Amino acid sequence: MKITLVKKIKLDGSLCKKCEEVQQKMEQAGQMALIDEVLIADERDPASPGMELASLYQVERAPFFLVEREGQAPEIHTVYFKFVKEVLNQKTREEDELKEILNDNPDLDFL
């Protein structure tokens, strides 16, 4: 299995807030050791490796994870806690999961 993490650099040159948060959590949990490759999606450069990967898989969120298993179709994960549970087989806290869902989906405010 190969796992690629794609992080976003915004137009102003800074790392996107969520990418920063996710990376921090992953470092604290020792999960970065399980990532095989980290690519940058630089919004200032559509040809950057991360932007090309996002375009290839039609991903519109960052960060995201590309999981490649031999003989299987590649999987894209844009929800961090689901990636942790389903790919890394590690536990997550429900309150963190719910907050991530709300943060990623501001449209849910109007339910």
Q: Footprint of another protein on this chain (CB under 8 A)?
A: 8, 10, 16-19, 41, 43, 46, 51, 54-55, 58-62, 78-79, 82, 85-86, 94-95, 98-99, 101-111
> What is the Rg, in whole angstroms, of the alpha carbon atoms belonging to the chain?
14
State the minimum distance, in angstroms, from the CB of residue 55 to another protein: 5
DSSP state of 110: G
Give min distance, CB of 32 to another protein, in A.
Answer: 19
Burial of 88: CB neighbours in 10 Å, binned 0-12, 13-18, 19+: middle
Judged by beta carbon, residue 33 or residue 109, the one nearer another protein is 109
